[in-house]
Structure 1
Amino acid sequence: MAVDVPGLVSVIVFYVCILAIGVWGSRKSKKVEKKCSSSKSEIAIIGGRNINILVGIFTMTATWVGGGYIMGTAESVYSPTQGLVWALGPPAYVLCFFVAGLFFAKPMRSKRYVTMLDPFQNRYGKAFTVTLLLPALVSDILWVACILAALGGTMSIILGLSSTISIIISAAVSIVYTLLGGLYSVAYTDIIQLCFIFFSLWLCVPFMVLSPAVTHSAYEDTLCVYSQFCFTWHEVRNVRCDKCKVVSFSNPVLLVLQALGGLSYQALYQRILSAASSVQAQISCFAAALTVFIMGIPSVVIGVMASAADWNQTAYGLPPPFERGETGKILPLALQHLTPTWVAVLGTGSVAAAVMSSMDSVLLSSASMFTQNIYKTTLRKTASERELQWVIRISVLVVGLAGTGLAFGDDSVFSLWVLSGDLLYCVIFPQLLCVLHFQHANTYGAFFGFVVGLLLRGLSGEPILGIPPVLLYPGWREENNVIRQYFPYRTVAMLFSVVSIPAVSCLLKLIFEHQLIPQSWDFLQVFKKKNEVEEDEAPDPCEEMNQVHNTKF
């Protein structure tokens, strides 16, 4: 396929503009460093807690409206085995932001944490924090791979540009401006990227709806498919009429997975902690719930139109994308064949903007956790601010390269999108819930809950990674020599982890308090310093000001 030179030039101009804004953001960051009493590393991580509410709403929305969100939603809606009820991204993220605003924003922001891992480090210590960083890091790398895979597929179809080159260039641009300015570069580029995504995607909708290939009869058939549902526990199959789809009970389970899994991303708390106050952090969450839903509507419409289209009337021809195994590329295919060329190019730009708006946030979040909670507190306690800034930059580069390498290996954006939140839902969300809302949780319970969640999730298998299940739940079936489980095994792992943490914590507390086992067996020294833990979680503001003063001088 020949390269679309005008389209390629347009995308390059867009990339240059984004890079220029990122450089401007880095200058803004340096100005804040001179005026703000916060350390340079804190300014890079959370903007010195000086991000205004409008910028906060934009950057919070843009982080979630990534390539996985846009292309994954269109893919799931178009797929004949899924359909409109599988457009779980918009309602899941609405739920995610509302829950975050109600139950997580205030306790995190009011205690002036710097990263999501700070409450764990204060209560459980360094060893458990390192343990918890690993699944968070793996999830971030999968998220980077997901959004880069989305961009590579889009550019290869519409612009005729190699997906490898597209992925490398986009990753390089995101890495560079994230290295330069930290959260300020990320936040200000997010504003431009989100505006461009909104304008270009909504512009594509009327052209696609009015496309000659989307016939009236096909559109009615599609509406019938999406409005008549039969429910079964086990599998998707037609049981009421030839045009009827079945909704598995796994739909609400997967929706909960994406919503609660989203609560466990450092990228979310980076924006919450950058707000000037707890109230501002909550308002940002509630506003983002509305904007993220609006941003998902065009992808739903594109998926519906692609399903209703007569592909034989387009240059794509027959068989349709699903039969060719190109469901994961349905958004760029629909843009290319159901809209004019210049509209398709704008659509490509929207995917590029979505990819960079999420990728830069993920890169910075992983780098922040490693620098703040591992390097600064464990590896190099005497590290200077300049050294910490370089650690952030190197961490951004490492995570970016890891995600970029993984992006070449999977064609299904939706599968990577779901998998990125899987570990967080089963392992980290229970920990975060208990450390913030259960005062008696201790290190023993946290370790036990971590092992239980991880073990149950691992034994349940993972078809995407080719891991066969060892633990079979009711309703499992073997399809094409692959065992698939229709029982909500992820939720089982999450719930067992949630219950295990307080149960084991309280049990061991009673055992040690009643001296049923020797105090010397408390090898983690949890009950010897329980009074110190409470003091650590509520730092004295005066003491904090003194620490800042000492750091400055």
Structure 2
Amino acid sequence: MAVDVPGLVSVIVFYIFILVIGVWGSKKSKKVEKTCSGSKSEVSIVGGRNINVLVGIFTMTATWVGGGYIMGTAEAVYSPTQGLIWALGPPAYVISFLLGGLFFAKPMRSKRYVTMLDPFQLRYGNIFTAILLFPALVSDILWVACILAALGGTMNIILGLSSSLSIIISAAVSIIYTFLGGLYSVAYTDIIQLCFIFVSLWLCIPFLVLSPAVTAISQTPPLNQSHGGHTWLGELKLADSGKWLDEMLLLALGGLSYQALYQRILSAASSAQAQITCFAAAGTVFIMGIPSVVIGVAAASADWNQTEYGLPPPFERGDAGKILPLALQHLTTTWVSVIGIGSVAAAVMSSMDSALLSSASLFTQNIYKTTLRKKASERELQWVIQISVLLVGVAGTGLAFGNDSVLALWLVSGDLIYCVIFPQLVCVLYFHCANTYGAVSGFGIGLLLRGLSGEPLLGLPPMLLYPGWREENGIIIQYFPYRTLAMLFSMIGIVTVSWLINLIFCHKIVPQSWDVLGVFKEKNENKEEEVPSPEEPNCALNTKF
């Protein structure tokens, strides 16, 4: 395929513009460092806690509206085995932001945490916090891979540019400006990127809908009778409802366990402002998903035999994951498709920079600063953030090559977060009885159940077969909500084990010497203090591990 030179030049100009905005953001960050009372590393991580509401709404929305969101939604709507009812991204993220504003923004922001892992570090100590970093890091790397894979496929189809080269260039641009300016560079580039996504995608819609190859939506026939496909509306059978619920909760509740979300919540000037940012983002993220739905519908309604793509249609060729760029290329004019690819590029960078900064912040604040180098200088911490950004970017870029389904990577990236970190976060914020014994138990339960359930994308066969499982093309697919089951058992394990351990040690059922994790310590009876009530256990928590 020949390279579309005008289109390539347009994309390069866009990248240069974003890079300039990122550099400008880094200069803004330097100015804030001079006037902010907090440390320089906190300016990079939470922007000195003075990101205004409008910028906060833009950057929070842009973080979630990535390549996975745009292309994954279009893929779900187009696919004859799924349809609109399986396009879970928009409604799930609305739920996620609303719950975040109602239950998570205030307790996190009011205590002036710097990262999502701070409450764990305060209650459980450094070792368990380091353990929790692992699933968060893996999730961010998979997220980066997901959105870069989306962009690589898009540029290859529309511009004729090598997917590998597209991935490398896009990753390099995101890494550079995140490396330079931290949250300020990320936030200000997010504003430009989100505006471009909104305008460019909506601009493409009329051309898609009015394309001669696209039939009236009301007259859309089944896409693929041989595969039992339905129209773009899709169908939710009772036997599939467990899988549908599982994926909805994975996106909605799993989204509450990303450092990227709390990075924006904690950068707000107040708890009230953080809540407003979440509520507003719930509306904007839904609006940003509408163009992808329309593109999926148009692709499902198209007669591909009238286009250069021809027959068989994309689904039968295994190209459902690339349906958005294919629709832009074959159902619109050349210049419109180039604008469309710009929107995907913007979406990719707006999410990738957040994932890079997220992992870098967690490692620097909760591992390096508190465990490895407690006396590290601010300059040293800045270098650690920048090196971490680079390493996470390289790891995610390496995984982006050769994956066909953006939707699959999108879902897997949240698996560990949902099954392991979400129950931990709920318990550390709302269950005061939670201690290190319970946290370790819950972590092990969630990880074990999720691992035994298998993962087709990673080639892991299931060891536990839940009711309703099916074998499709030699691969076992679980239709039971196994992720949610792992999450619930993890949460139950945390609370139950914590309660039992509190009961055992506080009532001295076993000797204090058996407290191998050093969670409890007896009160000094010689100290003059208020006598506890009969219901209050005569011990104090020292949940450092």
Q: Which amino acid aligns with 2:302?
A: A
Q: Which amino acid aligns with 1:264?
A: S
Alignment match, 2:99: 99
The TM-score, its normalising length taken from structure 1, stands at 0.92
What is the 5 A alignment of 1:95-494?
A: 95-216=95-216, 219-221=219-221, 225-227=231-233, 229=235, 231-233=237-239, 248-494=241-487
Equivalent-residue separation in structure 2 for 1:348 and 1:194 (angstroms) = 14
Alignment match, 1:499: 492
Q: How many residues align?
A: 522
- How far is the alpha carbon of 1:478 from its aligned partner? 2.1
**Do the aligned residues in 1 keep the contact of 2:80 with 2:232 (CA within 8 Å)?**
no
Q: Deviations over 1:508-532 (max 9, x none)?
A: 1111122221111111111118757
After the TM superposition, which of the residue ranges 108-117 and 210-219 deviates more from structure 2?
210-219
- How far is the alpha carbon of 1:232 from its aligned partner? 2.8
**Do the aligned residues in 2 keep the contact of 1:151 with 1:166 (CA within 8 Å)?**
yes
- How far is the alpha carbon of 1:475 from its aligned partner? 1.4
Alignment match, 1:64: 64
**Do the aligned residues in 1 keep the contact of 2:167 with 2:397 (CA within 8 Å)?**
yes
- How far is the alpha carbon of 1:231 from its aligned partner? 2.1
**Do the aligned residues in 2 keep the contact of 1:151 with 1:167 (CA within 8 Å)?**
yes
**Do the aligned residues in 2 keep the contact of 1:29 with 1:184 (CA within 8 Å)?**
yes
Equivalent-residue separation in structure 1 for 2:217 and 2:139 (angstroms) = 43
Equivalent-residue separation in structure 2 for 1:404 and 1:360 (angstroms) = 13
Q: Which runs of 5+ in 1 are unaligned?
A: 235-247, 537-553
1:225 aligns to what SS in structure 2? coil
Change (3 A) 1:374 1:498: same
- How far is the alpha carbon of 1:256 from its aligned partner? 1.0
Equivalent-residue separation in structure 2 for 1:219 and 1:254 (angstroms) = 30
Equivalent-residue separation in structure 1 for 2:476 and 2:93 (angstroms) = 30
2:414 aligns to what SS in structure 1? helix
Alignment match, 2:527: none
Equivalent-residue separation in structure 2 for 1:48 and 1:514 (angstroms) = 45
Change (3 A) 1:228 1:68: closer
After the TM superposition, which of the residue ranges 40-49 and 472-481 deviates more from structure 2?
472-481
Alignment match, 2:16: 16
- How far is the alpha carbon of 1:218 from its aligned partner? 7.6
Q: Deviations over 1:41-72 (max 9, x none)?
A: 00000001010010000000000000000000
Equivalent-residue separation in structure 2 for 1:267 and 1:252 (angstroms) = 24
**Do the aligned residues in 1 keep the contact of 2:164 with 2:401 (CA within 8 Å)?**
yes
Equivalent-residue separation in structure 1 for 2:23 and 2:397 (angstroms) = 22
Equivalent-residue separation in structure 1 for 2:376 and 2:185 (angstroms) = 24
- How far is the alpha carbon of 1:217 from its aligned partner? 7.5
What is the 5 A alignment of 1:24-63?
A: 24-63=24-63
Equivalent-residue separation in structure 2 for 1:149 and 1:498 (angstroms) = 33
Equivalent-residue separation in structure 2 for 1:318 and 1:528 (angstroms) = 72
Alignment match, 1:241: none
- How far is the alpha carbon of 1:298 from its aligned partner? 0.2
Q: Which amino acid aligns with 1:191?
A: I
Equivalent-residue separation in structure 1 for 2:8 and 2:542 (angstroms) = 56
Q: Which amino acid aligns with 2:277?
A: S
1:263 aligns to what SS in structure 2? helix
**Do the aligned residues in 2 keep the contact of 1:219 with 1:305 (CA within 8 Å)?**
no
- How far is the alpha carbon of 1:252 from its aligned partner? 2.5
Change (3 A) 1:229 1:175: closer
Among the aligned pairs, what percent are the same residue? 77
**Do the aligned residues in 2 keep the contact of 1:474 with 1:487 (CA within 8 Å)?**
yes
1:478 aligns to what SS in structure 2? strand
Q: Which runs of 5+ in 2 are unaligned?
A: 224-229, 523-538
Alignment match, 2:517: 524
2:471 aligns to what SS in structure 1? strand
Q: Which amino acid aligns with 2:271?
A: S
- How far is the alpha carbon of 1:227 from its aligned partner? 4.8
Q: Which amino acid aligns with 1:225?
A: T
**Do the aligned residues in 1 keep the contact of 2:519 with 2:541 (CA within 8 Å)?**
no
Equivalent-residue separation in structure 2 for 1:533 and 1:60 (angstroms) = 36
Q: Which amino acid aligns with 1:400?
A: G
Q: Deviations over 1:109-130 (max 9, x none)?
A: 0000000000000000111001
1:116 aligns to what SS in structure 2? coil
Equivalent-residue separation in structure 2 for 1:20 and 1:528 (angstroms) = 55
1:483 aligns to what SS in structure 2? strand
Change (3 A) 1:532 1:47: farther
- How far is the alpha carbon of 1:250 from its aligned partner? 1.8
Change (3 A) 1:402 1:264: same
Equivalent-residue separation in structure 2 for 1:40 and 1:198 (angstroms) = 33
**Do the aligned residues in 2 keep the contact of 1:71 with 1:150 (CA within 8 Å)?**
yes
**Do the aligned residues in 2 keep the contact of 1:452 with 1:497 (CA within 8 Å)?**
yes
The TM-score, its normalising length taken from structure 2, stands at 0.94
**Do the aligned residues in 2 keep the contact of 1:105 with 1:278 (CA within 8 Å)?**
yes
Alignment match, 2:531: none
**Do the aligned residues in 2 keep the contact of 1:78 with 1:304 (CA within 8 Å)?**
yes
1:233 aligns to what SS in structure 2? helix
Equivalent-residue separation in structure 2 for 1:225 and 1:16 (angstroms) = 41
- How far is the alpha carbon of 1:141 from its aligned partner? 0.2
Equivalent-residue separation in structure 1 for 2:463 and 2:233 (angstroms) = 37
1:221 aligns to what SS in structure 2? coil
1:302 aligns to what SS in structure 2? helix
Alignment match, 2:3: 3
- How far is the alpha carbon of 1:228 from its aligned partner? 7.3
Equivalent-residue separation in structure 2 for 1:531 and 1:342 (angstroms) = 68
Equivalent-residue separation in structure 2 for 1:220 and 1:72 (angstroms) = 21
1:138 aligns to what SS in structure 2? helix
Q: Deviations over 1:412-461 (max 9, x none)?
A: 10000000011111000000000001111000000000000000000011
Q: Which amino acid aligns with 1:73?
A: T
